[in-house]
Structure 1
Amino acid sequence: MGKISAFYTMPHPPIVIPEIGRGEEKKIQRTTDAFNKVAEDIARIEPDTIIIVTPHGPLFNDAIAMSFENKIKGNLGRFSAPQVNLSLEIDIPLTRKIIEYSAKEDIITVVMTRDSAKTYDIEYELDHGSMVPLYFINKKHTKYKLVHITYGMLPKMQLYKFGMCIKKAVEDSDKNAVFIASGDLSHMLTDDGPYGYSPYGEKFDNEIISLLKDGDVLGIFNMDRTTIEKAGECGLRSYYVMLGAMNGYDIKGNLLSYEGTFGVGYSIMSFSLKETNLDTYTILLDQNRKRFKDKIHTTDPYIRLARESLTHYLMYGEYMNLTSYVTEEMKNHKRGVFVSLKNDGQLRGCVGTIFPTTKNIAQEIIRNAVEAGLHDPRFIPVTEDELEELDFSVDVLTEPEMATKEELDPKKYGVIVRSRGKSGLLLPDLEGVDTVEEQLSIALQKGRIFPYEDYTIEKFEVIRHNQV
């Protein structure tokens, strides 16, 4: 019976590699020391296989990528160090077992080979999210095979369940394995960091480190969504998978190092595990079901109608009829409506109508909720199993009215421009659109209208109904 003998969270700052840092790596010496400490630990364990989950391989919205050639190579040429390279053998039997267990749980995996990589117009190679940790490990231990995984933008419960599949696959083998969750914490710790400064950066880093040290899986899964979204991190999904592979254990994290010198949080942790009869996955599911019941009982009629419309269609294959809670406003007015679905803060579907296409707002919501769930071409269709995890929002557009440039406010009003049968529309309060000039320029571009042409301007507002 196989076993995952050790778990680690490790960052992947290229600058920590001396060939890249050229002296700058000394500013994060504690990170270097912790990398070396983990490498020494792994050398003592002598694992047959290292399982690594990275954010920087082939990234899919709806699937997890698994490297599946006999070998995989990579170098750090994009960081001006092509001489830093690795060539590793993939553990094909274990990777296959993980794919098989995942399929049984309806978790989609993409088998990445050189041929399939060409299909997606990407390279089959080791990414820096894997290479940086393995650079240090390979100095101490090289007699291992690799399971190379790129997490997908899946719901966190699916990522956790995927981690459970990894654990089962290892136990169903004869492998002594080590698990590495590769990921940086916030990229927004300082003004001169990669994405500027956000107060949520330090907040996120402090919370996730504290929760991991305490082994508080429920706390991690209940972290504030705004904090996560605004922290600019890339490690949390790797951690979700790792925690799933730890299901059934009491966990305690040992922080080996944390530094934010370059505006990015670099955390390295090891873990002590004690086997228990506790099934954290079941507890998380029960939490989700309670949260779902609370959503249904506290939501406004617009959100309730959107949720029930998609649920009804998935169950019965037809549009629902109007129900008693639909308000007079929803029945007696026509408006354009956008319905958006999110899962753990990530967009899962969005379809809308600028102008009404049905006889009232309620029917517009019913139709667009189904379209958002099943026919947004950017995503695979929503399934019944996902409904409990989805958050809905409904944007109702007010009737456009003629306006002058001076009357516009990009935070408050959307805009429609028209010229000779051409039109362009832009919704209000969009990130990166801060001035009237920017708003009009984008709307004109969307309508293929030249700025020197005569055009009319209309403004409208969006009344937003968010999930409570």
Structure 2
Amino acid sequence: MSLVAAYIVPHPPLAVPEVGRGEELKIADTLAGYREVSRRVAAHEPETILVVSPHSAYFGDWIYLGAGEGACGSFEQFGTPQVRASLVYDGEFRDALAACGEGEGLSVGCVSARAKKLDHGIMVPLYYLEECYPSDRYRAVSIGGSGVPREELLAFGRCMARTAHGLGRRTVLLVSGDLSHKLKADGPYGFDPAGPRFDEAFARVVESGDPAGFADLDPALCEDAAECGLSGFIMLAGALAEARSQDGVKFTSELLSLEGPFGVGYGVAAFERREPALSKADPLVALARATIEQYVRTRTVPVALTLPGDLPNRAGCFVSIHTASTGELRGCIGTIDPVRATLADEVIENAVSASTRDPRFPAITVPELDDLEISVDVLFPPESATVGDLDPKRYGVIVSQGFKRGLLLPDLEGVDTVREQLHIACMKAGIDPRAGFDAIDIERFEVVRHA
């Protein structure tokens, strides 16, 4: 495992509805960006989240790491003490990160009592992250912005990715930072022509796909624009560069939102490991294979995909995996009815389950990936049936008795008769077939098999 994604988010306290009291609606794009980032972080299921905030302890010659076992905070200074946030720190990661930094000759460590409480630069993005990925599901490392030279910020970013890789941690980097504070004459900091120019430069770097451009921004422009997130952005650039060199992977780069109605620039950006390219074969099989390969290697999954229009938007489906060289079943998990928002999401979830969570088999390992045969069965809605309505080559069958329920797909090798089909389905459900098939409820369904 290693660094799987990085995100840039702003931190206006009024983005929290209890603080904004309606004003947050004026930055709807930013709120949508927060929620998209939250959804993506949850999809990655990180073990550790590195959070960089310029409002923690900020030093001109030191990079601060949050001390102790954790920290908490509230929005009391903004009139809402009831809105709180807390983090448990990943002490092992923090110590290894500090050691890596020291090994690079960097000034880094835990030296200030000031950051024992979470600041709003951390709490604002946490407010939205909590909706999809609560803080009890991960450990964190709190990192302060810093005024050290840019090459040192890049080196520290490389240490982030190096530490994640060395510890085998599935890690996400979350950089909190506003853009220019001088976008409007009637804003809290006034106007300077450098303000909009800085925000435009930020957008160009993100859209270029190369965050190393953050380290090349004109220092005079940055100072005149009164930005507050650049040091974290440069750390991010170093981290992504190191992650690319470790695994040979590329990262996508997306500008999710950019606005500044109050005179301060708010940008949301996402940097994700590039998904394995889907082949020109059947799109559902390609998606299932890409998911299995990505999840087995990195414990992450694809986060977005649009399927061709001739496929249903939602449907139950089963993902079946066989060992290509032997034909033996290696995993099969699915859903009778759709439980995800889209068929693509259904395939992704079932592909992960079939490859790693089928209780009949051990989880698939990396050496097996080149010897897998994968199929996806998309289910039509089931209908009530009698024994006489069944055809094991055309119809799958669902048997149920009370809370017991079992399913068998159609056209399976070695299942040639209705009796064999019902017998196996009953055994899967934990129903004794010797009681007779008249004692069970039967449904049949058709499938479209993608192989």
Same fold (TM over 0.5): yes
Supply the distance in 2 between the matched residues of 1:166 and 1:272 (Cα, whole angstroms). 16
The answer as to 2:116 corresponding to 1:141 is: no
- 1:164 equivalent in structure 2: 158
Q: CA deviation at 1:25?
A: 0.4
Supply the distance in 2 between the matched residues of 1:111 and 1:53 (Cα, whole angstroms). 14
**Residues 186 and 204, structure 1, Cα contact 8 Å, conserved in 2:** yes
The 5-angstrom pairing of residues 108-119 of structure 1 reads 108-112=107-111, 116-117=112-113
Calculate the TM-score normalised by the size of structure 1: 0.55
Supply the distance in 1 between the matched residues of 2:190 and 2:232 (Cα, whole angstroms). 23
What code does the residue aligned with 2:210 have? D
Count of paired positions: 267
- 1:173 equivalent in structure 2: 167
**Residues 212 and 252, structure 1, Cα contact 8 Å, conserved in 2:** no
Q: CA deviation at 1:44?
A: 1.4
Supply the distance in 2 between the matched residues of 1:212 and 1:144 (Cα, whole angstroms). 27
Supply the distance in 2 between the matched residues of 1:144 and 1:18 (Cα, whole angstroms). 25
Supply the distance in 2 between the matched residues of 1:125 and 1:93 (Cα, whole angstroms). 20
The 5-angstrom pairing of residues 351-366 of structure 1 reads none
Q: Which has the larger radius of gyration?
A: 2
Q: RMSD over aligned Cα, in angstroms?
A: 1.6
- 1:24 equivalent in structure 2: 23
Deviations 1:317-351 (A, max 9, x none): xxxxxxxxxxxxxxxxxxxxxxxxxxxxxxxxxxx
Give the secondary structure class of the aligned counterpart of 1:172: helix
- 2:261 equivalent in structure 1: 261
Calculate the TM-score normalised by the size of structure 2: 0.57
What code does the residue aligned with 1:60 have? F
Deviations 1:211-251 (A, max 9, x none): 12213345433322221110010011110001010114355
Supply the distance in 2 between the matched residues of 1:155 and 1:110 (Cα, whole angstroms). 17
Supply the distance in 1 between the matched residues of 2:37 and 2:178 (Cα, whole angstroms). 16
- 1:203 equivalent in structure 2: 197
What code does the residue aligned with 1:215 have? G
**Residues 157 and 239, structure 2, Cα contact 8 Å, conserved in 1:** yes
Supply the distance in 1 between the matched residues of 2:212 and 2:100 (Cα, whole angstroms). 24
Deviations 1:385-425 (A, max 9, x none): xxxxxxxxxxxxxxxxxxxxxxxxxxxxxxxxxxxxxxxxx
- Seen in structure 2, the aligned counterparts of structure 1 residues 227 and 252 have a Cα distance that, compared at 3 Å, is farther
What code does the residue aligned with 2:63 have? I
- 1:192 equivalent in structure 2: 186
Supply the distance in 2 between the matched residues of 1:126 and 1:20 (Cα, whole angstroms). 17
Deviations 1:280-331 (A, max 9, x none): xxxxxxxxxxxxxxxxxxxxxxxxxxxxxxxxxxxxxxxxxxxxxxxxxxxx
Give the secondary structure class of the aligned counterpart of 2:140: strand
The 5-angstrom pairing of residues 93-108 of structure 1 reads 93-108=92-107
Supply the distance in 1 between the matched residues of 2:241 and 2:16 (Cα, whole angstroms). 33
- 2:84 equivalent in structure 1: 85
* Unmatched tracts of structure 1, length 5 or more: 276-468
The answer as to 2:13 corresponding to 1:14 is: yes
The 5-angstrom pairing of residues 293-308 of structure 1 reads none
- 1:280 equivalent in structure 2: none
Deviations 1:46-105 (A, max 9, x none): 111111111000111110110121121111111111111112100000001000000101
The answer as to 2:225 corresponding to 1:234 is: no
**Residues 185 and 234, structure 1, Cα contact 8 Å, conserved in 2:** yes
Give the secondary structure class of the aligned counterpart of 1:53: strand
Supply the distance in 2 between the matched residues of 1:274 and 1:35 (Cα, whole angstroms). 21
Supply the distance in 1 between the matched residues of 2:21 and 2:96 (Cα, whole angstroms). 42
Supply the distance in 2 between the matched residues of 1:219 and 1:21 (Cα, whole angstroms). 33
- 2:64 equivalent in structure 1: 65
- 1:127 equivalent in structure 2: 119
Please, which moves more after superposition, 265-274 or 69-78?
265-274
**Residues 214 and 252, structure 1, Cα contact 8 Å, conserved in 2:** no
